[in-house]
Amino acid sequence: MRYYLDTEFNGYRGELISLALVREDGRELYLVTHQLPDVIPWVKENVIPILFAPGADDAVIWRTDLFGHQIASFLAEDAFPVIVADWPDDIRYFCECLITGPGEMVDVPYDRRGSIKFVVERVDAYPTTLPGAAQHNALWDARALRHRLTPLHDLRQPE
């Protein structure tokens, strides 16, 4: 199953602020850090005010070092998840969440084909026709990415 991923972070290589996964069937996971870092002006103006925008207000507020456990639980029923993002940083932050210590990571699903597959689809999810969408909110951006790419994925051969 495909999972559409988006993250928000504090500028280039900055701390992770939020992470969202939206499954192709519509189930969602939205994680927001419990302690915001001192944010750069752009993030303060464009991300922080909409962290809990309407439609994204039931986030799981968690310590970022525990995000990986929430992600593993969300992926648990899928033997071969495909994580789809529109930017490599999203995948980097996702992978960093899975790492729990030196040489250690959370348990992620796997089957004979492998474990998690990552796909970067270089597309613009905005503008979108999704009512209420709030650009730069990780959950809304993951929804917009799913909305944008689902028709394209439906036309392609199964993975």
Query: Quick check: pTM over 0.75?
Result: yes
CA distance 83 to 129: 23
Q: What is the pLDDT of residues 95-130, one digit of tens each?
A: 999 999 999 999 987 776 668 999 999 999 999 999
Write the burial class of residue 55 (CB in 10 Å: 0-12 exposed, 13-18 middle, 19+ buried). Answer: middle
CATH number reported for the structural domain that contains residue 87 in this entry:
3.30.420.10
Q: What is the pLDDT of residues 10-36, one digit of tens each?
A: 999 999 999 999 999 999 999 999 998
Counting Cα atoms < 13 Å in the Cβ hemisphere of 96 gives 17
Question: What is the pLDDT confidence band of residue 150, given thresholds at 50, 70 and 90?
Answer: confident
Q: How many domains does the chain have?
A: 1
Record the tokens describing residue 20, joined without a space. Answer: 């969202």
Print the domain residue range for 27. 2-155
Helix (H) / strand (E) containing 100: strand 99-101
CA distance 120 to 106: 23
